[in-house]
Amino acid sequence: MASFRKLVELYEELDNSTSHMKIIELLAEHFQSLEPAEVKITAYLALGTIGPRFEKIDLGIGDKYGIQAISRAYNVDKEKVEIAFGNQGDLGDVASALNERQRSSLTLNYVFQHFVQIRDISGKGSQKRKINLLAEVLSKARPLESRYIMRIAQGNLRLGFGEKFLLEALALAFTGSRDNTSKVEDTYNICTDIGQLGESLANHGMDSLGKFSIKIGRPVQMMLASRVDTMEELNEKFSGTMAAEEKYDGERVQVHVDGDNIKAFSRRLTYISAQFPDVIEAARESVKAEKIVLDGEIVAYRQGEFRPFQELMQRRRKYHVEEYVKKIPVTVFFFDVLYLNGKSLMKWSYPERRQVLEENLVETEKVKLAGRVVSADFSRIQHFFDDCVEKGMEGIIIKSVKAKSTYRPGKRGWLWVKWKKEYIEDVRETFDLVIVGSYYGKGRRKGSFGALLCAVLNESEKRYETLAKVGTGFKDEDFEEINDLLKKYSIEKKPVNILIDSNMQPDNYIEPAVVIEVIGSEITSSPSHTSGQENSGNGYALRFPRFLRIRYDKGPGDATTVEEVKHLK
């Protein structure tokens, strides 16, 4: 049975090593001297924790409790411990200085099990019980041991290396070569419990790699998206049919449903169920399957409107959770499924997984499927992107629909590619457009217009042809003014001098009278707008139109013309 002292000696050596290679060798050598079950707990303890990232690892020993435990263990006044702490700044050093015990018989297992017990104490009187138990362990330790016991108990080990080093050391110790590190890392993307992986490597060496599969309760690393520089590159990369999904600006979440037991994990694989009790409840209502693992994004979302990322960040809290559940409502948009009723779906193609996802979710206000289009027509993808940006999203994620479009945990490959609005440069052209229609507002804009359908003048045809649907840029005071104008010029039937595509039917027609100045980024071609449309082909469209002001000084006859737009294209 391994002693705790051996681990402490390793800590000291690691603390004094500055060479990468030396650290890997020290760790590997140490691992080789242990039983597989000891490799497991040492893998955690080498990182200064007592379990995998996705479990609760905090022992709940703040400075106050730590001081009391030391005082009790070494029979020293609390005040004296406080003074020493003030001087030394580290309770580990304080504990080792005040400890005069020369012998110890602590085993690795004893110390580890006590850490777990301290973590698990909760409820009434837990404070006292935690302190007593820690004091008991400290009282049996030698000075050097008590230093590290305190540091681990406080989550304060800080040896200056992380998981990557440990995986490399495990590869060296149990597969015979550091060259196998990337294979170990690939397995770690699926079995994210480093202790479990270490134990399995110690038992089976290389044979254990590739044997792991996704398991309920143990999150896999999230699949990530690459980026390209131009939209054309996107088209080239995916050539043919592709899926474009809305890209939400929120927080990634992996939800594990095991009957009534539902857990949520963050992108860093930490356990976030306690922060999002509303997400857990919403999943309970929406998920049809008994056991399922879902991948999605939590977004601040209120009455059909996306709210900024900063609002969501206010939900990152330990206290007053219920208050903030009400204050900042969220919705989860699910876009993938990785596991269903005992079976991993990670080798299935994206279209197959999407189908399973659709079959197993009931959409509600708080749980939705990611919006998307699947098309081989790139102009449709472009327009979907514009719509997403218009709705306040970050952009889109293009996903491969090919047979080999598997879910690759932890990988940033070319099966998913992101395209964000920041990649686009504004050309900052302004246009004088005639309002020809309006759409009702939703959410905060209920009772008002939500967007305006705007047109340019086709001089030869003597009619107004649409170029843009403008829904952003309005200040609070603009609404009242524009609503009054819309009321004044609203008409029942579409005037003959307006050409509107069936995709763009407004809720109200507006007689061409009001001109507004609009800024936009670029002219593209669109099947939904009629400006410059010949023989029912594509028309011109203004991307990212934004309202600037009403041009009372201009009449509809002064509006930007189709010819001018053509010139700009």
| 61 scored as a contact of ligand AMP (CB under 6 A) | no
Instruction: Give the span between the Cα atoms of 82 and 33, in whole angstroms.
Output: 39
Looking at 119, 151, 368, 418, which residue binds ligand AMP (CB under 6 A)? Answer: 418
358 marked among binding-site residues: no
255 membership: H or E segment, kind and range? strand 251-258
Looking at 44, 54, 248, 350, which residue binds ligand AMP (CB under 6 A)? Answer: 248
Sorted by sequence, the CB contacts under 8 Å of residue 460 that are 6+ apart come out as: none
Closer to ligand AMP by Cβ: residue 315 or 529? 315
38 marked among binding-site residues: no
Question: Cβ-closest residue to ligand AMP?
Answer: 252
Beta strand pairing call for 522-526 and 367-369:
unpaired
What mask of x and - would describe binding to ligand AMP in positions 171 to 210, judged by CB under 6 A?
Answer: ----------------------------------------
Instruction: Give the span between the Cα atoms of 265 and 288, in whole angstroms.
Output: 20
Pick the stretch among 77-85, 139-147, 247-255, 320-328 that binds ligand AMP (CB under 6 A).
247-255
| 17, 28, 272 from 21: Cα distances, Å | 9, 11, 36
Candidates 247, 366, 368, 399; catalytic one: 247
Contact 416, 225 (CB under 8 A): yes
Pick the stretch among 218-226, 421-429, 483-491, 560-568 that binds ligand AMP (CB under 6 A).
218-226
Sorted by sequence, the CB contacts under 8 Å of residue 170 that are 6+ apart come out as: 28, 31, 43, 184, 197, 198, 201
> Cβ atoms within 10 A of the Cβ of 264, count?
25
- Count CA atoms within 13 Å of residue 418 on its CB side: 16
78 marked among binding-site residues: no
53 marked among binding-site residues: no
Calculate the CA dihedral of residues 553, 569, 382, 332 and round it to 10 degrees.
-30
- Residue 327 CB, nearest distance to ligand AMP (Å)? 23
**Chain-centre distance for alpha carbon 15:** 34
Closer to ligand AMP by Cβ: residue 77 or 229? 229
Residue 265's identity, in one-letter code, is F
Looking at 242, 361, 370, 562, which residue binds ligand AMP (CB under 6 A)? Answer: 370
Contact 469, 544 (CB under 8 A): no
3-state secondary structure of 437: strand
Looking at 93, 145, 297, 311, which residue binds ligand AMP (CB under 6 A)? Answer: 297
335 marked among binding-site residues: yes
Closer to ligand AMP by Cβ: residue 38 or 295? 295
Closer to ligand AMP by Cβ: residue 190 or 209? 190
142 marked among binding-site residues: no
| 225 scored as a contact of ligand AMP (CB under 6 A) | yes
Closer to ligand AMP by Cβ: residue 245 or 390? 245
- Residue 405 CB, nearest distance to ligand AMP (Å)? 13
- Residue 55 CB, nearest distance to ligand AMP (Å)? 22
| 247 scored as a contact of ligand AMP (CB under 6 A) | yes
| 332 scored as a contact of ligand AMP (CB under 6 A) | no
- Residue 471 CB, nearest distance to ligand AMP (Å)? 21
Instruction: Give the span between the Cα atoms of 291 and 261, in whole angstroms.
Output: 9
What mask of x and - would describe binding to ligand AMP in positions 492 to 531, judged by CB under 6 A?
Answer: ----------------------------------------
Based on the residue annotation, tell me whether 487 is a catalytic residue of this protein. no
3-state secondary structure of 54: coil
| 397 scored as a contact of ligand AMP (CB under 6 A) | yes
Looking at 4, 335, 348, 439, which residue binds ligand AMP (CB under 6 A)? Answer: 335
- Say which residue the tokens 């759409």 belong to: 439
Pick the stretch among 26-34, 240-248, 318-326, 531-539 that binds ligand AMP (CB under 6 A).
240-248
Sorted by sequence, the CB contacts under 8 Å of residue 387 that are 6+ apart come out as: none
Name the DSSP letter for residue 569.
Answer: -
> Cβ atoms within 10 A of the Cβ of 327, count?
11
- Say which residue the tokens 């990649």 belong to: 423
Beta strand pairing call for 490-491 and 372-375:
unpaired
Contact 24, 172 (CB under 8 A): yes
Task: Sort 67 into a burial class: Cβ within 10 Å, 0-12 / 13-18 / 19+.
Answer: buried
Closer to ligand AMP by Cβ: residue 221 or 466? 221
64 marked among binding-site residues: no
- Residue 310 CB, nearest distance to ligand AMP (Å)? 16
Closer to ligand AMP by Cβ: residue 267 or 551? 267
Instruction: Give the span between the Cα atoms of 110 and 287, in whole angstroms.
Output: 42
> Cβ atoms within 10 A of the Cβ of 507, count?
14
Name the DSSP letter for residue 422.
Answer: G
Looking at 168, 193, 245, 390, which residue binds ligand AMP (CB under 6 A)? Answer: 245
Give the residues lining the site for ligand AMP (CB under 6 A): 222, 224-225, 245-248, 252, 267, 297, 335, 370, 397, 418
User: Which residues does the annotation place in the binding site?
Assistant: 245, 252, 267, 297, 335, 412, 418
- Active-site residues, by number, are 247
User: Which residues does the annotation place in the binding site for ATP?
Assistant: 245, 252, 267, 297, 335, 412, 418
